[in-house]
Structure 1
Amino acid sequence: MTDLTEPLSAFMMRVAGPGELAGLARLSGGANMESWAFDWAGAGAGGTGAYVLRRAPSAEYMADRPYGHTDEAALVMAAHGAGVKAPAVVGVLADGDGMGTGYVMRRVIAEVSPAKILANPPPSLIADLGRELARIHAIRSETIPAAIPLMDTAAALAELKARFLSYGGDRPVIALAIRWCEDHLPDPAPPVLVHGDYRMGNIMVDVAKEGGGLAAVLDWELAHRGDAHEDLAFGCMTVWRFGQLDKPAFGVGSLAEYFAAYEAAGGATVDRTRFHFWLVYRTLWWALGCLQMGQAWRSGADTTVERVVVGRRTAEQELDLLLLLEAEVPEAERNRALPPSPIAASEPAGEPTNREMVQAVRDWLNETIKPGAEGHAKFQVAVAMNALGIVMRDLDAGARAEDKPLADALLSGTKTLAEPGLLAMLRRRALDKLAVDSPKYAALARARALWGG
């Protein structure tokens, strides 16, 4: 890992004046970019304080992105200037700084953990979320960097379909969702600035004091111009509600509360049909995003254990897609009993099995390595243990989601969920696959209760 202390100190000398760097530490999480927290004790009050460096360590990390960190930083500054609770950018890295690409911003001291926020959200939070999104969508177009692209929904959907086919095109539920989106594609909407990742995990909340609320909106790397309903829907996806299934808006409140706050702050009237389309689309998008993580590991572009683990989270989105799409299925099919799961493997005997070998390594990580790990290393150990847990369950169950002939038929429309028994079979496969890949996913228990699985 590159030692950032010297080049970061030189950078801060240039943008904040003389001082001393302290407490440099990588923040956990961050699927694509690195975030480093540090303090700068300057000679004057203007530069002293807490900061965050957001960076990509090499140009390769940014190669497939529509715009770089210079434009991203300019966008964050435009949002901040428009009164949005975006971080205050203090400087952008240059080639000569020796730290890759990125920028430094003042650090907001507030809670970012979804679990901690959702355990006791401030009473104003759902209103704050609606208001802040309306402010983002109201940012004047002339202040937005020209590099921020305009999303063509039809073209974006075609790109998702091409990616799916390049990954094998063999997941029936993904094929089903692509076909549904093609059949329900909405007319273009008046474009606004879309944050693109507006959800729990990318917002900071002041939970420490009475009257606290939304403190900051982070991670602007997916921003683009497009349909406001895309942003409205993204934070309402099941995966971003972190177990709060009865609170469809961010895991915090109701859709009615969220939409009312958005509209009261100047946002356009919410179209529920358009909102549902984007809920399906972004769930599909994230399903393919998870598959892409596995491809990134397989290609050698990113060999971290986190990549392969996220690659197995596709099953979460497949379950969510079935739950979103099955309302249109005939009642007789929705009420059909599920077929049984495959018979579980028998108890082992003789030499240690592959499962037992994996269990031994997982126990060693838990008992010997994890207690001494700190910071990002501790996070990586937890991810590695999760990966081994998936392998153990997979060796027991052998659940698979691939079915190329069925996926082809659903994608072409020659088969639909109205076919007798097809929905029940897909439900069973989704339940069994998710029990292997992500058994703690809250929607799994809900789906079992709904489907009798």
Structure 2
Amino acid sequence: MGDATPYQLIEGLARVCSRVGLSPPSGLARLTGGATMESWRFACADEGFVLRRAPSLAFMEGRPYGHEVEAAVIEAARARGVTAPEVVAVLGPDDGIGSGFVMRALPGTPNPKEILLFDEADALLRQAARDLARIHSIRPGAVPEAVPVMNYRAAIADLRQQFEEAGGDRPIIALGLKWMEDNCPDPCAPVLIHGDYRMGNLLAEAPGRLTGVLDWELAHFGDPHEDLAFGCMAVWRFHRYDRPALGLGSIADYFAAYEAEAGVTVDRERFRFWTIYRTVWWALGCLKMAAQWRSGADRMLERVVISRRTSEQELDLLLLLEEDAPEEERERPLDPLWKRAPRKGEADRAEIATAVSEWLVTLKEQVKGHDRFQLAVARNALGMIARELEPTQNYENPAQADSFLRGSTSLSTPEVLKGLRQDALDKVSADSPKYPALAVARALWSESKEVIE
């Protein structure tokens, strides 16, 4: 059941709560955020609960398993001492509110901007490493058989298919796919992978206490380095780009805490592979958000805006891949910036988009909850429109992407790296001008500040 009203949800929750011996629900409120699933908080008597729910039944089609299996994975993790929420009920067809489950609410905030300002970030980092090691202590057989075991080569092939279905025209993603095909590691003994272990899916309280590990829908069995790498991606450090481990501290401290709990040694080369793999994975995941919106499976505004975060991942991916480029290519300076002449006539589309965005600010105090979040997303969308109306280059380039996939062109080819750098800077400047890695890349690549009128 998609697009259920709050009244329909509270009716369905009443049936769920009655079935598991809880008092009638009250105070239903939509929680902000959530790129895939919905979250609704409510109370039964004096106790708080959270409903985690798919936006529609169609949204669950094609997934390896449903919410019943996800709930079983969470309970298995709790049994190993992981700070995970207690699942009290899984939604059934008779409940009439779609696919999902209900869990007890945990204290703390999931807001990365708040957590990354905590005084004891180092203590929180150690706890996160501890819980991740405990997750990785779970082996096949401890959870339902529906939880898949990852085949690395098949996963790369699936990403390549996704790339082709999305147009096959983004050269930096193509470069990453080719690199993964050439550098795929041998399989290791599979352990349970959370699949989305990062800031944003961790609950914490000040000054530095981990209170919950959330969002288990991507759990599978595979290489533990995949989980380690994902949380250290630049995108999940938010405004703390300078702290590469979850935005909380150093990689060395994160690995040391993980190794102490897990009794293993982190392989740095495997860590790099999975950092590149997951950067490509998330870039394609962002692209797919637009397809979900177009299909009608989920018409949430976040979908179209998140699709434009692909360029952030391409910038991060290029920063990772260029380590293998020849020194002479890494030293090539970028071309001067171009500046558009000021407008003198009627307002153009960029100015109109800016004007609408400025008007939306006046509504901020009149909306609450998820609508307030949507208002911020809408302003971001208008900003993208305003900034990209006169792109300096054609960013989609199927011919170059194909040449990377075939191996006929690489970062060793003269001028290629320079062009990719400029394209990445142009695109992220339009899509996400406040993305922390953008300033880092500009400084690293010594972008010329000369402006040609």
What amino acid does structure 2 have at the position aligned with 1:288? L
Asked if structure 2 preserves the Cα contact closer than 8 Å seen for 1:137 and 1:193, the reply is yes
In structure 2, the CA distance between the partners of 1:140 and 1:424, relative to structure 1 (3 Å rule), is closer
- Any gaps of 5 or more consecutive residues in structure 2? 448-453
Is 2:375 the partner of 1:395? no
Is 2:16 the partner of 1:11? yes
**Alignment partner for residue 30 of structure 2, among 23, 26, 31?**
26
Matching residue of 1:45:
none
Asked if structure 2 preserves the Cα contact closer than 8 Å seen for 1:293 and 1:311, the reply is yes
C-alpha separation in 2, matches of 1:267 and 1:217 = 22
TM-score for both structures, normalised by structure 1:
0.94
Percent identity of equivalent pairs: 54
Asked if structure 2 preserves the Cα contact closer than 8 Å seen for 1:399 and 1:433, the reply is no
Q: How does 1:116-265 map to 2 (within 5 A)?
A: 116-122=114-120, 123-207=122-206, 212-265=208-261
Deviations 1:164-189 (A, max 9, x none): 11111111100110001111000011
C-alpha separation in 1, matches of 2:133 and 2:380 = 38
SS at match of 1:265: helix
SS at match of 2:335: coil
Alignment length (residue pairs): 441
SS at match of 1:430: helix
Deviations 1:86-119 (A, max 9, x none): 1001111110001101111100011211111111
What amino acid does structure 2 have at the position aligned with 1:98? G
C-alpha separation in 1, matches of 2:328 and 2:342 = 39
Matching residue of 1:287:
283
Deviations 1:257-300 (A, max 9, x none): 11111111125321100000000000010111111111222222
Q: How does 1:359-438 map to 2 (within 5 A)?
A: 359-367=354-362, 369-397=363-391, 399-438=393-432
C-alpha separation in 1, matches of 2:170 and 2:59 = 28
SS at match of 1:142: coil
C-alpha separation in 2, matches of 1:156 and 1:139 = 21
Is 2:347 the partner of 1:352? yes
Deviations 1:146-205 (A, max 9, x none): 110111010010010011111111111001100011110000111000000000000111
- Any gaps of 5 or more consecutive residues in structure 1? 42-47
**Alignment partner for residue 321 of structure 1, among 313, 317, 321?**
317
What amino acid does structure 2 have at the position aligned with 1:112? P
What amino acid does structure 1 have at the position aligned with 2:239? G
What amino acid does structure 1 have at the position aligned with 2:375? V
184-193 or 248-257, which deviates more: 248-257
Is 2:49 the partner of 1:51? yes
In structure 2, the CA distance between the partners of 1:99 and 1:314, relative to structure 1 (3 Å rule), is same
Residue 80 of structure 1: how far off its partner (Å): 1.1
SS at match of 1:16: coil
Asked if structure 1 preserves the Cα contact closer than 8 Å seen for 2:147 and 2:219, the reply is yes
C-alpha separation in 2, matches of 1:437 and 1:160 = 23
Residue 57 of structure 1: how far off its partner (Å): 4.1
What amino acid does structure 2 have at the position aligned with 1:407? A
Matching residue of 2:105:
107
Deviations 1:296-334 (A, max 9, x none): 222222222211111111110111011101111111111
Asked if structure 2 preserves the Cα contact closer than 8 Å seen for 1:237 and 1:283, the reply is yes
SS at match of 2:116: helix
Matching residue of 1:44:
none
Superposition RMSD in Å: 1.4
